[in-house]
Amino acid sequence: MKLSRERSWFRFNHRVLLTARREDVPLLEKLRYLAIFAANTDEFFSARVYRMFRASRERPRVPRDYRALLREVQEYVREAGALFAELRLQLEAAGIRLLEPDQLGVTESRYFGAYLAEEVAPKTDLLDAAQVQDLSSGALYLAAGHRRLRYLLRQPAQRRFLPVPGRPGAFVRLGALMRARSDLFLPETMPMYELRLTRIAQLEAVRMDWEELPLALETRLDGAPARLELEAGFPWRAAIARSLGLLDLEVFETPPPLDLRALFELADIGAPGLHFPPLRARRRRGFSRDPFACLRERDVALYHPRDDYTQMIGFARAAARDPGVRRIRATLYRVGRDNPILDALIEAADRGKEVEVLLEGRARFDELVNLYWRLHFEGHGVRVLDYPPGAKVHAKLFLVETGSERFAHLGTGNYNPRNGRLYTDLSFFTARTPLTADVAAYFEALAAGRAPVLQHLASGPAARELLLARISAAAAARGEIIVKVNHLTDARLLRALARAAGRGARVRLLVRSTLTELHPRVEAVSLVGRYLEHARLAAFRTARDWELWASSADWMERNFDRRLEVFFPIEDPGIKGKLLRLLRAQLADDVNAFELLPDGAHRPRWGGRRNSQLRTL
């Protein structure tokens, strides 16, 4: 099996969609999966499809693999629309009604008429049809006209499903209300149809410094049109597609509502029994009370979200407030707007400690938030290191230094408390001198603008060579290899895994999203559950014993050649044993699992009792 990165990734998105059909998933969580599918599809057409999209415009004929990809995506989008129609009936049975405007009473209709006049019409942009080239990416529009297109109305960015006062559980859609009261928005009453455009977000292709970033953000969404969504029966499809330079397969017709991301609104309503039960996260008492005293005795590993992410926040706050701490250094990637870890870094600087951060300004779609934090850091005396030219820093490192000791956190996930509740990730805390010295050397290299040279950790091309050596050793011993990543696309590593399987080693993969090649003798599973699988682990068994590495990096060419990542060993026997048991449990999962097949297809493995996302270390 060989698949393009794009096609393999969108098959992961199809697995997200299929999860909304699981019988054990509560109803409103099914809506959430459907909304995630829609959000992922937006990201796909704004960023992930760029390589194929560009080739389709530069070559005299549209590449066959791009056409095949678009046909497949069309099929999945139709499936999503059909699933929403099914879920709508289930919502009705559960007491949640999505009403049409003609189902409202007289008083309710008057109320919403006033709401449209007061809250919506002043914020709605009315465009002439000739301005179709100016459609904003991601915005929802209504096209109006009789025989020819006359107007385009840009809907304001506000709640799409409006609760009906006095009718608990009843909602009416904003777009349907606007269509019913076109007189409030147009010079004359005329039919209206929904449409939405997605443009290529071009920022990823550009490498810029902090000073150039704001201008790049201003122009990012001016990219080429990549996808047009139209309400089924849209009368001006051909004319608009031609005007925007879109292929017919890049136009998607579906029944309204368009942009199913709006289902997040319904997924978040309070409804007993229609959500997953609350998460009861675990806290380690000794570590939570005094992390540094604990780390002087032993390493600590947390597996989020079953282990409470507030313990990472507590580690950062302890570093900020401990009078013995002199210096804190951290790498920051996707951090979010509200972040108590970053607040702790600012508090440390305010207390007179030396604080340095590598804040990656080019984290796709999070650049503005990171620019916001850069301004905050500089205002409080936090030193923001210049990131290396031509390389992103994606490592997850947090180093605390006293006069004589170092304490380090090495992770697989971002320093983002919101993600810490939603993503499965490993947090590894240590005071081992060989590891903390390498973390310090990593920061010293970044501050000096050079690639790090490491003794016990691995980064860059050296990390690939380390993995190739471990794969080769396991193959020679006819041992065992377990790899857990989000994406596995590196050609050399894929070939090495295939050779190992061919020589008799047992090779098992846990690949959440992208797998571009699968040898028939390699077992592969994708987990899609309540939490987003995000940890990266690699275990190798030879005649001697198991060796276990964790990492911030997926196995992709860019992460070895154009990013600064960190692979770190798990040497504590107790922690290593727990992580190996976790990996085996994930391979045996029969609640959240899809078996990945050599022909590129996937097969659900559901209905059992072995839910690995309920396990703790």
- The catalytic site residues sit at 394
Task: Please give the backbone phi and psi of residue 195, each rounded to the nearest 5 degrees, phi first.
Answer: -150, 160
Q: Which structure tokens are listed for 33?
A: 């999966």
| Amino acid letter, residue 607 | G
The position carrying tokens 């997924």 is 267
β-partners of residue 398 are 330, 409
Phi, psi of 192 (to 5 degrees): -130, 145
Strand order in the sheet with 251-254: 125-128, 149-154, 140-145, 192-199, 225-231, 251-254
List strands edge to edge, sheet with 97-99.
Answer: 97-99, 170-173, 161-163
What amino acid is encoded at 131 in this protein?
A: Q
Helix or strand run (H / E) with residue 574: helix 573-588
Q: Which of 3, 13, 4 is nearest to 41 (CA)?
A: 13
Phi-psi region of 166 (alpha: psi -120 to 50; beta: other; left: phi over 0): left
Whole-angstrom Cα distance, residue 42 to residue 37? 9
Under 8 Å between Cβ of 269 and 95: no
Distance of CA 109 to the CA centre of its chain: 40
CA dist., res. 360 & res. 165, Å (int) = 45
Calpha distance 583→485 (Å, rounded): 12
- Please enumerate in sequence order all residues whose Cβ is within 8 A of that of 327, keeping only pairs 6 or more positions apart, or say none: 353, 354, 355, 356, 399, 400, 401
Nearest to 416 by CA among 382, 370, 374, 457: 370
- DSSP code of 210? T
Q: Would you tell me the crossing angle of helices 340-350 and 367-379 to the nearest 10 degrees?
A: 20
Dihedrals phi, psi of 426, to nearest 5 degrees = -100, 130
For helices 310-321 and 340-350, the axis angle rounded to 10 degrees is 0
- The residue length of the chain stands at 617
Round to the nearest angstrom and report the end-to-end CA distance of the chain.
35
CA atoms of 277 and 516, how far apart (whole Å): 36
Give kind and range of the element (H or E) at residue 58: helix 50-58
Neighbours of 186 (CB within 10 A): 18
The owner of tokens 């006049």 is 117
Three-class SS of residue 119?
Answer: helix
